[in-house]
Structure 1
Amino acid sequence: MAARIEHLVTSGTFSLDGGTWDVDNNVWIVGDDDEVIVIDAAHDAEAIAAAVGGRTVRAIVCTHAHNDHIDAAPALAQRTGAPILLHPDDLPLWKQTHPDRSPDGELADGWVLAVAGVELTVLHTPGHAPGAVCLHAPALTALFSGDTLFAGGPGATGRSYSHFPTIVDSIRDRLLTLPGETVVHTGHGDATTVAAEAPHVQEWIDRGF
């Protein structure tokens, strides 16, 4: 069976810089009836494992290391035997949530992850976090953007480890160059497309946010 994208929403909290907020996170499962990768193991390892079922999890990919995107990763890894992959620039954030458990492997710009006959290219897109990455799957006309790009503009940059000019450069140089019909599967909220977000990003640049 051809590879497909499955979507799960989990709920929990995001904490940074002394504040805590309730959040709903998108968890993306990419694969077929035999094998998958999980993108952003958020909040509920049991629910994610149930969605995976008996399939082999090839990797648990972290788009970045804010706690709401990684809090369930170790438990899911223990249940499935899958390695947790993270860009090394986000290790300081990772250690805030999991000081006694390191990721199992690194992500790097240009690396390709393969599952169910589909290739996902890692794009390093810092700004929301130093080690933020997106995953581009041309065969699925899909981009998994984490918190780098949302429907309506860039991800937040008002907290520690974030930088607005950097996220704008990442989006402009790495994401808006992708085909306009590419569907952007975000870390929170609704999906969008590259073409739909180009004017929104420009508006943010013009407003200086």
Structure 2
Amino acid sequence: MTVNIDNLVTSGTFSLDGGTWDVDNNVWIVGNDTECVIIDSPHDAAAIINQVRGRKVLAILLTHAHNDHIGAAREVAAAVGAPIILNPEDLVLWKQVYPDTEPDRYHGDGDVFEVGGTALLAIHTPGHSPGSTCFYLESEGT
């Protein structure tokens, strides 16, 4: 089984508590040659969609909902036909960017997302934000 782990860096701004900063953000695309998940969706929808390279996107998994990690989420989701999945403890942050919508689904500690013959385990890691989550790819030890 070959697992593809693609990394894309997008640039934009992060705003919080009255300040705004220029930032670079990682997008991780995990899967195989036919299907994948996107982890985080910042700044540049076109670049993210291009990086998918025509694969079926099963989900957009969000590590947290600061604006620099979700700014392109709705546009990417519409383009690739995938649900946006967020830890519900970050809904207040989501609403700052998308006040009239909610994510399509919610993930919690221990949820497993199967993709391309492997699986990602959601591990709730509050601190950076209330709903911060890491996605552990056991097959790769990362």
* TM class, shorter-length: over 0.9
Q: Supply the distance in 2 between the matched residues of 1:86 and 1:121 (Cα, whole angstroms).
A: 14
TM-score between both structures, scaled by the size of structure 1: 0.67
Matched, 1:87 2:60: no
- Give the superposition deviation at 1:90: 0.2
Matched, 1:34 2:34: yes
- Give the superposition deviation at 1:2: 1.3
Which letter maps to 1:111?
A: D
TM-score between both structures, scaled by the size of structure 2: 0.98
Q: Supply the distance in 1 between the matched residues of 2:92 and 2:109 (Cα, whole angstroms).
A: 19
Unaligned runs of at least 5 residues, structure 2:
none
Partner residue of 1:163?
none
Post-superposition CA distance 1:164-198 (Å, at most 9, x none): xxxxxxxxxxxxxxxxxxxxxxxxxxxxxxxxxxx
Identity within the alignment, %: 58
Partner residue of 1:103?
103
Mapping for residues 127-142 of structure 1, pairs under 5 Å = 127-142=127-142
- Provide the aligned length of Structure 1 versus Structure 2: 142
Partner residue of 2:122?
122
Q: Supply the distance in 2 between the matched residues of 1:37 and 1:130 (Cα, whole angstroms).
A: 23
Post-superposition CA distance 1:34-87 (Å, at most 9, x none): 000000111111000001021000000110000000000000000011000000
Q: Could you say which structure has the higher helix fraction?
A: 1
Mapping for residues 111-190 of structure 1, pairs under 5 Å = 111-142=111-142
Which letter maps to 1:133?
A: T
Contact 1:36 1:55 in 2 (8 A): yes
Q: Could you say which structure has the higher strand fraction?
A: 2
Contact 1:37 1:61 in 2 (8 A): yes
Q: Secondary structure at the match of 1:43?
A: coil
Unaligned runs of at least 5 residues, structure 1:
143-209
Q: Secondary structure at the match of 1:7?
A: strand
Higher relative contact order (CA 8 A, sep 6+): 2
Q: Secondary structure at the match of 1:25?
A: strand
Runs of 4+ in 1 over 2 A off after TM superposition: none
Partner residue of 1:148?
none
Say which one has the larger Rg: 1
Partner residue of 1:59?
59
